[in-house]
């Protein structure tokens, strides 16, 4: 605290120092984003707020792949999954009015759904633990189609609360519940009860290609994404200032209480997304909030460090999957820390070849590493891990394992924790056979008490108790004090 004496002169010098710091930060951030634009990994808008003051803002690049019209501060972006926050907050608004409870089963709201609706709670929808399958995007063309598929769904992927699956069916049903309770369409509720009251006047709901401010997304070859029919409605597409306004209102507890906000950050596991993305807590207080969203070639991120009182918002219409790394670099600049300038994504560059022929994709990876080592990020293990995960999603399990084998050979130290994470995430999604194949690779490459225990857990979940017991015992050979393996051996032997 400043002393009372000489306070005016101290404040003067304090402000001068702060302004110098902010100007230096502005220059460094601008230089960073210029390089990222030249590298082809950032075409979009950026905003950095420190305290209540915007210390940096920019619009770099173009509104579509033709690169004839520049972005403006009023440009509107599809923000992908970040828009799911609006229905989650709406649910909590209704909860605070006493119109619903998070433990209510969704059958209570007369949505004309099958018997399984009596097992799923609103909390399950918020945390993606309902057991609802992924939406069949290839055959769904409207809200009506999504609803029809749900009404004809016979069984869930897993018992509600016993697993995690990041499915937009959870979002769809949240929006239908809001409609049932309020008597409004979800879009009406968004407009009348959220957007207008908090002054989000430069936002639209759902893609509006005819709106001159709504930007078109384009790929690495500057080809625009094709215009698609609206397969599921209710997505807020804001300007960058409106998105920042939303975040500030949210974290100032002007929309919902602190208790409700913190409930929305509750997730099924460390590997799982909450209704608001990812929140970090220290001593039961929120210290940081990060939410990433993407839809086709659109990509956005909100990164708020509450301890630094700094918010970074980045929005792009040419996805590079580097927006998270760019946001981290900006935060390092604001904190006066060393930072690295992101490189191009290996995953985005080789994925199409790998989807078509995994061996061709691997060969392309190796040729890029030989000829363009400084251009691409070959040191980030998540580039290949993401590709493997996407191959698993396409049920190309052998191809996915080939990519993980490449990861192990390229980055042996980093790949161990990556396999652990990927195996746990896929197991939490109840893709047990895929998880087993990952853990089998892990015990082959990194035999340890922990890796054998993880493989045992996957076999146990698959009710292969003999194989589970074998791996738990192998775990104890390598790590006699592994309490989880001890417990599971006793449990199986009592069966």
Does the residue 45 lie in any domain?
Answer: no
Same structural domain, 190 and 170: yes
Is 317 in the same domain as 356?
no
431: its two tokens: 């893709």
Predicted local confidence at residue 21, as pLDDT: 53
Cα dihedral across residues 322, 72, 49, 292: positive or negative: negative
Q: Tell which residue, 47, 58, 88, 49, has the closest CA to residue 306.
A: 49
Residues near 169 by beta carbon (within 8 Å), at least 6 away in sequence: 130, 132, 133, 134, 135, 146, 150
**262 and 365 fall within a common domain:** no
Pair 167, 297 in one domain: yes
Q: Does residue 210 sit in the same domain as residue 260?
A: yes
Q: Residue 212 sits in a domain of what CATH number?
A: 3.40.710.10
Q: Is beta strand 203-205 parallel, antiparallel or unpaired with respect to 236-238?
A: antiparallel
Residue 185 sits in the same domain as residue 261: yes
118/173 same-domain check = yes
Whether 91 contacts 177, CB under 8 Å: yes
Contact 56, 46 (CB under 8 A): yes
Strand stretches in 347-441, DSSP E: none
| Dihedral angle computed from the Cα positions of residues 237, 241, 247 and 251, in that order, rounded to the nearest 10 degrees | -160
Q: Establish if 113 belongs to a structural domain.
A: yes
Model pLDDT, residue 229? 85
Tell me the residue range of the domain where 374 lies: 346-493
What's the confidence (pLDDT) of residue 22? 59
| Residue 111 maps to a domain | yes
pLDDT in tens, the chain (495 residues): 322 222 222 222 232 233 345 579 999 999 999 999 999 999 999 999 999 899 999 999 999 999 999 999 999 999 999 999 999 999 999 999 999 999 999 999 999 999 999 999 999 999 999 999 999 998 999 999 999 999 999 999 999 999 999 999 999 999 999 999 999 999 999 999 999 999 999 999 999 999 999 999 999 889 999 998 889 999 999 999 999 999 999 999 999 999 999 999 999 998 899 999 999 999 999 999 999 999 999 999 999 999 999 999 999 999 999 999 999 999 999 999 999 999 999 999 999 999 999 999 999 999 999 999 988 989 999 999 999 999 999 999 999 999 999 999 999 999 999 999 999 999 988 899 999 999 999 999 999 999 999 999 999 999 999 999 999 999 999 999 999 999 999 999 998
Is residue 36 in some structural domain? no
In the prediction, which pLDDT does 4 show?
A: 26
Give the end of a domain, one of 302, 334, 366: 334
Burial class of residue 155 (count of CB atoms within 10 Å of its CB; 0-12, 13-18, 19+): exposed
pLDDT tens track for 150-199: 999 999 999 999 999 999 999 999 999 999 999 999 999 999 999 999 99
418, part of any domain? yes
pLDDT in tens, 399-440: 999 999 999 999 999 999 999 999 999 998 889 999 999 999
Which of the listed residues 298, 314, 334 is the one where a domain comes to its end? 334
Q: Is residue 14 part of a domain?
A: no
Match 């005016």 to its residue by tokens: 8
What is the C-alpha to C-alpha distance for residues 255 and 248, in angstroms, rounded to an integer?
10
Q: Do 59 and 70 contact (CB within 8 A), yes or no?
A: yes
State the total domains in the chain: 2
Identify whether residues 321 and 350 lie together within a single domain.
no
Q: Are residues 104 and 233 in the same domain?
A: yes
Q: What residues pair up with 304 in beta bridges, in sequence order?
A: 289, 311
Q: Is residue 51 part of a domain?
A: no
Closest CA to 297 of 315, 276, 275: 315
Residue 87 lies in a domain: yes
Closest residue by Cα to residue 135 from 148, 124, 119: 148
Q: What share of the chain is helix, strand, coil (3-state, %, to 5)?
A: 50, 15, 35
Cα–Cα dist 49/443, whole Å = 46
Last residue of a domain, one of 334, 361, 380: 334
* 319 and 274 in a common domain: yes
Give the pLDDT confidence score for residue 271 in this predicted structure: 82
Instruction: Assign residue 396 the CATH number of its domain.
Output: 1.25.40.10
| 322 & 453 share domain | no
pLDDT at 389: 96
> Based on the domain organization, do 113 and 260 belong to the same domain?
yes
């Amino acid at each position: 605290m400043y002393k009372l004496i000489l306070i005016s002169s101290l404040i003067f010098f304090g402000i001068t120092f702060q302004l110098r710091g902010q100007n230096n930060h502005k220059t460094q951030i601008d230089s960073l984003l210029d390089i990222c634009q030249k590298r082809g990994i950032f075409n979009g808008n950026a905003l950095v707020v420190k305290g209540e003051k915007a210390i940096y803002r920019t619009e770099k690049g173009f509104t579509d792949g033709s690169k004839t019209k520049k972005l403006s501060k009023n440009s509107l972006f599809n923000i992908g999954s970040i828009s799911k926050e609006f229905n989650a907050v709406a649910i909590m608004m209704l909860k605070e009015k006493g119109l619903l409870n998070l433990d209510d089963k969704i059958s209570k709201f007369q949505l004309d759904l099958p018997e399984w609706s009596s097992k799923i709670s609103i909390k399950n929808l918020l945390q993606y633990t309902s057991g609802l399958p992924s939406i069949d995007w290839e055959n769904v063309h409207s809200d009506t189609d999504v609803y029809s598929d749900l009404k004809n769904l016979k069984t869930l992927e897993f018992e509600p609360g016993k697993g995690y699956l990041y499915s937009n069916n959870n979002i769809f049903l949240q929006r239908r519940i809001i409609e049932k309770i309020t008597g409004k369409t979800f879009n009406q509720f968004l407009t009348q009860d959220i957007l207008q009251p908090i002054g989000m006047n430069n936002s639209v709901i759902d893609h509006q290609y005819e709106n001159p401010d709504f930007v078109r997304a384009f790929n690495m070859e500057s080809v625009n994404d094709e215009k698609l029919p609206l397969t599921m409605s209710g997505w807020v597409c804001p300007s960058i200032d409106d998105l920042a306004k939303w975040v500030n209102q949210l974290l100032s507890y002007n929309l919902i209480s602190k208790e409700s906000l913190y409930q929305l950050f509750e997730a099924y596991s460390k590997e799982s997304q909450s209704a608001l993305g990812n929140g970090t807590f220290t001593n039961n207080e929120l210290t940081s909030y990060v939410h990433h969203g993407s839809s086709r070639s659109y990509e956005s991120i909100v990164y708020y460090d509450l301890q630094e009182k700094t918010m970074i918002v980045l929005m792009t219409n040419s996805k590079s999957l580097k927006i998270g790394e760019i946001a981290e670099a900006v935060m390092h600049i604001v904190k006066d820390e060393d930072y690295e300038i992101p490189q191009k994504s290996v995953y985005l560059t080789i994925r199409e070849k790998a989807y078509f022929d995994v061996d061709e994709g691997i060969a392309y990876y190796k040729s890029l590493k030989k000829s363009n080592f400084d251009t691409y990020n070959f040191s980030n293990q998540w580039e290949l891990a993401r590709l493997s995960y996407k191959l698993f999603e396409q049920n190309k399990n052998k191809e996915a394992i080939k990519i993980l084998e490449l990861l192990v050979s390229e980055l042996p130290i980093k790949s161990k924790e990556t396999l652990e994470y990927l195996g746990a995430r896929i197991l939490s999604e109840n893709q047990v056979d895929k998880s087993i194949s990952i853990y089998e690779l892990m015990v082959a490459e990194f035999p340890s008490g922990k890796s054998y225990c993880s493989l045992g857990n996957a076999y146990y979940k698959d009710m292969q108790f003999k194989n589970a017991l074998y791996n738990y015992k192998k775990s104890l050979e390598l790590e006699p004090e592994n309490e989880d393996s001890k417990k599971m051996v006793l449990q199986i032997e009592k069966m």
